[in-house]
Structure 1
């Protein structure tokens, strides 16, 4: 091969090597680029994943925060409902001055029209000094300046004339408006003065208008509460009768709290327990009723109201007709004298309404269980005479027939059909009444007793026999005196109602009728002529356990003093109205009580039993069974038996029950049942006695 061919092969080989190196470099570059792209893709994926996680975490935090916020809103709404009455009591009371409008008129404000149009300044229209113009040219310039000045002056004068004309017209419009507004304010204030004058004079229209305004303008109510009222005023009884709309059941939140569930990306509401929601709703209704009474009595600066008959209702549908109807869930007749003694910000609303004011509150307001109002606004009218004045008839001295007619009229005023039977004093039926209520109504037989002494239990037994003989649904015994514990014990659980003298006077007043108990008759049981009788409480039980039976003379849940704790070491209270007696067959313990001689500030006699630690140091009350209390009169005749709770293992002291004084002075027995494992010491500490 020639030298030249060797050179060509070398060149070709070098070219091949160069080409291979270039291809290898390109391959490496492509691989590096691919690795870089893959790395960038992985970095982007990681960034996207990190961003997604961050977004998910932020989203979850947002949803959780929103659930917490909504739960806090639910808690806030419940807190507002719970504190409705206390918060409402802090709101300012309505005042008659709030109805008056101040005689203040917005001052005249003409705005730009108050500024005169500026006149042109002649100095601005002079030829500038040192002007090169001379002779005819200067004269021409001065003439032109004077012409411009005159033109601007006339234009300014025309503008000022228009301003003054517009200002005068605007002032005239203002004066007319101000005069009309002031006349309207004075006319309104004159009307308010006449309204307040009518209110002081007991005018029904004025009373309704004034107290309706007080309710509508009250700042005590939170958002979402209705304000619908229908009212009438009874000037003779000095009583406002009104229907007031109460909030519906949905005012109480159905949900208790809200939680976010990230697994399903949904919110979960936990329902408020039905019993809790129903109890809160009843409390809201009671608070609403008390708050209306508070607003009315607080606004009564002229002493127009002696009492208020308030019926709370909700709008619903009559299940029979399918038409809209008002369902009454609460009703109360509140006397101002009693209402003013309450500290509303601290009361339990339900107990204050039902026990303190003797009102009615639906047991199941969530199911629209109605109550029956004693008096409606539509019932006000006709000849209504005030009670409590010197001109009222003395019920003790009233003719027997007139007294029976008065009782019949009272039942008619309560919405029943009633007639006298003209058989007064024969122990039979004095008044026949028919209650038209389709559920609780029916035939009622009424006996009246114009007594000055305590009605004996035999009269109550005779009434029950008459109810059975007449086939009546109910029996009512009305007296000018009072009933003893034996009468209430016999009537308990039977279709009998006992109306004592003080309750009778109250009912007469509520329904606009007349009657008083003697010229100087004191309130309560001391109005009797004879000395109070005593009762004997004989206690017995089965089982071998030995017990100490004791009594506490209390006001509410607090014993009056340590001397009013009657037990084996203190066998009588200071006035001797409660005494320990030795047990006599068939009773294992006994106690003498003169109910009408109990201290005036006592309203409760609590009976308790405890293990005798000396006889049965290791025993408990599981052996205390078949327990009962026999109620005896002074002669030893049994008037009735009271059942009490049995003992439970682990307990060594038990509240047997308590006699509680009613508004009319009578005493009812209420069963107990609360046990204490710490013996008598723990029990008496519950009633305020300190044990050293």
Structure 2
């Protein structure tokens, strides 16, 4: 009995020991697991810390590199400012030859019309069984194949005949366009020859136009420097007198270097010492004056100039009146003999200007401390305009000052007080007028532009800025040419009046004065129309507000932008009423320009996804409508519709990209694949207004253009 009890106890004890060993093993395993987890956690934390340190180091390196880059940009800018006189002296001299256009036109490019229509391959129509035409068991199948081949062959031959006919017509149109283009180039070059002859005779108008064009076209100036000039020529003294705009104090960087502060996680800009910045600005002003004088003398291959009197000014706000004014910071009169003694590539510009040439340079240009100009353009007085002594004067050929005086006389004939402004300090105003009417009257500022091409929208923007700065009631812009829709869009709703050439002639006649548009092309027009870098004022008269923005093209840019991913083709149709003038007046991806080049498809830039460039004054005379349409590109987006064409608008701008206005257009609708965006319609006075469209076409672009009279095979 005792043995049995001891056996049970021993068994129970053994079970207890086994359970205890198992429990201890589990605790050991759990402890081991915990230690492993802790080791992994510590390893992960060490890796994260190492990663953070690496990220922080990389971030710091990026910030330090960015600070170094900004510092290097500032250093490069300062180096440019210190050396642009020497750089500009290495630029080639301006010559009348630079005004000429090469007598060449774009080569003929037939595009898809130059690709013959492929003829069908008869072997492709043969049945797969053996045997030739008309043999074998399945004779009916062979006859059907022959019939399909002959049908397709006739269709291909007809298409090829149509292609050759269209190609011949296109070649005729190209030859006509090329002949007209060459004739235009030759007229232009003849105008340059006339300008050259007038320049050799020392005619004041030709001298002023040529040398101001030389300043505009000079390649030695930093791109962001202003180029605004007013000038006159004294034939008796053989001296050119001009006011030339200088860059403002902000042209010299206020910051000398940039450092990254890792503790504060920010960039610290180290200010340039005031004395250093002021000295560099004086040096820049002196270099500007010397480089302008250099450009004038080296451009004088005719020996017209004996001296140049140049006054450098900056635009500033008069603290007494709050109006914009011109502050003269440098002035000099240089004879040709004194100029030829100089080696401008090695001089100290301030010392050369003040000591070598006995000019004046402001001691504190940063505080706008003025100097007194040695001589101002037009100081000898203005000639008096006379009327009724024979043929009416051609407004294109009038002296710039006479033209301004004629406009002032027109305002006086209309019952207002009007005077022409002095050439210096006019703030972009050619005529100051005062309307005494107690209700609608007030101060009026007038700008006049003797242009032959469309006035760019930038001129209207400049006038509006002048109206605001001088506190005038109204601004009037008068031109011998016309205004595009961009100019009218900007002027709409503002105290601005735009008077184009035909309206000006009518006003002159109604008030007993004379003037006409036409006659022989003036000598300077061709030269100043295309001088490299020449702006719109260079195309007119240098003495009449020659400081407008420089434009490379007088076209109006119609930029189209929208949200959504739909791929579109933007097209334009030149119409009379609701019918396109001709198939070649349908401008699209396969015909990127109409024959005279007045409408061109161009790549969009900036936010524009597509663009059409239009010269409204050069559209065919019979055209009274320009229709803009958009259609889904079936190759880029097969099966898509216009539901993705949203928030669409047309952005009016000039070729430099400066926006003038925006025109909203209709959004696309599901199921439609083509849409009329709107049309520019010609008014009786020659202006163009925009009319919103919105008609959609489920059948696509083919249905749209067929409605406008284009036959699509």
TM-score by length of 1: 0.53
- Could you tell me which residue of structure 1 aligns to residue 196 of structure 2? 196
- Pair 1:130–1:71, CA change in 2 (3 A): closer
Q: Does the 8 Å contact 2:332/2:360 carry over to 1? A: yes
Q: Which segments of 5 or more consecutive residues in structure 2 lack a partner in the other structure?
A: 384-423, 425-713
- Could you tell me which residue of structure 2 aligns to residue 52 of structure 1? 52
- Could you tell me which residue of structure 2 aligns to residue 342 of structure 1? 342
Q: Does the 8 Å contact 1:113/1:163 carry over to 2? A: yes
Deviations 1:44-67, CA, capped at 9 Å, x for gaps: 111111111111111112212221
Report the alpha carbon displacement of residue 141 of structure 1 after superposing the two structures with TM. 4.6
- Could you tell me which residue of structure 1 aligns to residue 554 of structure 2? none
- Could you tell me which residue of structure 2 aligns to residue 119 of structure 1? 119
Tell me, in whole angstroms, the C-alpha distance in 2 between the residues paired with 1:270 and 1:114.
64
Q: Does the 8 Å contact 2:256/2:270 carry over to 1? A: yes
- Could you tell me which residue of structure 2 aligns to residue 357 of structure 1? 357
Report the alpha carbon displacement of residue 166 of structure 1 after superposing the two structures with TM. 2.3
Tell me, in whole angstroms, the C-alpha distance in 2 between the residues paired with 1:234 and 1:121.
80
Report the alpha carbon displacement of residue 173 of structure 1 after superposing the two structures with TM. 3.1
Report the alpha carbon displacement of residue 84 of structure 1 after superposing the two structures with TM. 1.4
Task: Give the secondary structure class of the aligned counterpart of 1:346.
Answer: coil
Q: Does the 8 Å contact 2:312/2:328 carry over to 1? A: yes
Tell me, in whole angstroms, the C-alpha distance in 2 between the residues paired with 1:74 and 1:352.
27
Deviations 1:132-162, CA, capped at 9 Å, x for gaps: 9998946535533431222112111121122
Report the alpha carbon displacement of residue 112 of structure 1 after superposing the two structures with TM. 2.5
Q: Which segments of 5 or more consecutive residues in structure 1 lack a partner in the other structure?
A: 384-414, 416-692
Report the alpha carbon displacement of residue 128 of structure 1 after superposing the two structures with TM. 7.6
The yes-or-no answer on 1:223 pairing with 2:241 is: no
Tell me, in whole angstroms, the C-alpha distance in 2 between the residues paired with 1:55 and 1:135.
82
Write the mapping of 1:16-165 to structure 2, written as runs, cut at 5 A: 16-122=16-122, 130-131=130-131, 137=137, 139-165=139-165
Q: Does the 8 Å contact 1:232/1:380 carry over to 2? A: no
Report the alpha carbon displacement of residue 183 of structure 1 after superposing the two structures with TM. 2.2
Q: Does the 8 Å contact 1:234/1:381 carry over to 2? A: no
Deviations 1:333-388, CA, capped at 9 Å, x for gaps: 111111111000011111111111111110100000001112111314469xxxxx
Report the alpha carbon displacement of residue 296 of structure 1 after superposing the two structures with TM. 0.6
Task: Give the secondary structure class of the aligned counterpart of 1:256.
Answer: strand
The yes-or-no answer on 1:313 pairing with 2:313 is: yes
Write the mapping of 1:582-621 to structure 2, written as runs, cut at 5 A: none
- Pair 1:32–1:139, CA change in 2 (3 A): closer
Tell me, in whole angstroms, the C-alpha distance in 2 between the residues paired with 1:30 and 1:248.
78
Tell me, in whole angstroms, the C-alpha distance in 1 between the residues paired with 2:329 and 2:219.
24
- Could you tell me which residue of structure 1 aligns to residue 270 of structure 2? 270
Task: Give the secondary structure class of the aligned counterpart of 2:301.
Answer: coil
Tell me, in whole angstroms, the C-alpha distance in 1 between the residues paired with 2:48 and 2:183.
75
- Pair 1:199–1:43, CA change in 2 (3 A): same
- Pair 1:99–1:312, CA change in 2 (3 A): same
Deviations 1:634-690, CA, capped at 9 Å, x for gaps: xxxxxxxxxxxxxxxxxxxxxxxxxxxxxxxxxxxxxxxxxxxxxxxxxxxxxxxxx
- Pair 1:32–1:196, CA change in 2 (3 A): same
Report the alpha carbon displacement of residue 263 of structure 1 after superposing the two structures with TM. 1.8
Task: Give the secondary structure class of the aligned counterpart of 1:240.
Answer: strand
Report the alpha carbon displacement of residue 92 of structure 1 after superposing the two structures with TM. 1.3
- Pair 1:311–1:31, CA change in 2 (3 A): same
Tell me, in whole angstroms, the C-alpha distance in 1 between the residues paired with 2:163 and 2:214.
49
* Count of aligned residue pairs for this structure pair: 384
- Pair 1:214–1:18, CA change in 2 (3 A): same
Report the alpha carbon displacement of residue 180 of structure 1 after superposing the two structures with TM. 2.6
Task: Give the secondary structure class of the aligned counterpart of 2:378.
Answer: helix
Task: Give the secondary structure class of the aligned counterpart of 1:358.
Answer: coil
Q: Does the 8 Å contact 2:310/2:331 carry over to 1? A: yes
Deviations 1:68-102, CA, capped at 9 Å, x for gaps: 22112111111111111111111111121110000
Report the alpha carbon displacement of residue 239 of structure 1 after superposing the two structures with TM. 1.1
Report the alpha carbon displacement of residue 298 of structure 1 after superposing the two structures with TM. 0.8
- Could you tell me which residue of structure 2 aligns to residue 370 of structure 1? 370
Write the mapping of 1:440-451 to structure 2, written as runs, cut at 5 A: none
Tell me, in whole angstroms, the C-alpha distance in 1 between the residues paired with 2:228 and 2:55.
50
Tell me, in whole angstroms, the C-alpha distance in 1 between the residues paired with 2:79 and 2:355.
25
Tell me, in whole angstroms, the C-alpha distance in 2 between the residues paired with 1:80 and 1:289.
16
- Pair 1:262–1:132, CA change in 2 (3 A): closer
Report the alpha carbon displacement of residue 20 of structure 1 after superposing the two structures with TM. 0.9
Bigger RCO (CA 8 Å, 6+ sep): 2
- Pair 1:238–1:137, CA change in 2 (3 A): same
Write the mapping of 1:509-520 to structure 2, written as runs, cut at 5 A: none
Report the alpha carbon displacement of residue 260 of structure 1 after superposing the two structures with TM. 1.4
Deviations 1:547-581, CA, capped at 9 Å, x for gaps: xxxxxxxxxxxxxxxxxxxxxxxxxxxxxxxxxxx
- Pair 1:182–1:134, CA change in 2 (3 A): closer
- Could you tell me which residue of structure 2 aligns to residue 247 of structure 1? 247
Q: C-alpha root-mean-square deviation of aligned residues, in Å?
A: 2.2
Which protein shows a greater Rg?
Answer: 1
Tell me, in whole angstroms, the C-alpha distance in 1 between the residues paired with 2:26 and 2:107.
92
Q: Does the 8 Å contact 1:329/1:362 carry over to 2? A: yes
Report the alpha carbon displacement of residue 226 of structure 1 after superposing the two structures with TM. 0.8
TM-score by length of 2: 0.52
Write the mapping of 1:472-511 to structure 2, written as runs, cut at 5 A: none
- Could you tell me which residue of structure 2 aligns to residue 489 of structure 1? none
Task: Give the secondary structure class of the aligned counterpart of 2:345.
Answer: helix
Deviations 1:300-331, CA, capped at 9 Å, x for gaps: 11111111110000000011111000000001
- Could you tell me which residue of structure 2 aligns to residue 408 of structure 1? none
Tell me, in whole angstroms, the C-alpha distance in 1 between the residues paired with 2:130 and 2:80.
86
Q: Does the 8 Å contact 2:78/2:253 carry over to 1? A: yes
Q: Does the 8 Å contact 1:117/1:159 carry over to 2? A: yes
- Could you tell me which residue of structure 1 aligns to residue 209 of structure 2? 209
Q: Does the 8 Å contact 1:204/1:232 carry over to 2? A: yes
Tell me, in whole angstroms, the C-alpha distance in 2 between the residues paired with 1:198 and 1:63.
61
The yes-or-no answer on 1:233 pairing with 2:233 is: yes
Deviations 1:489-541, CA, capped at 9 Å, x for gaps: xxxxxxxxxxxxxxxxxxxxxxxxxxxxxxxxxxxxxxxxxxxxxxxxxxxxx
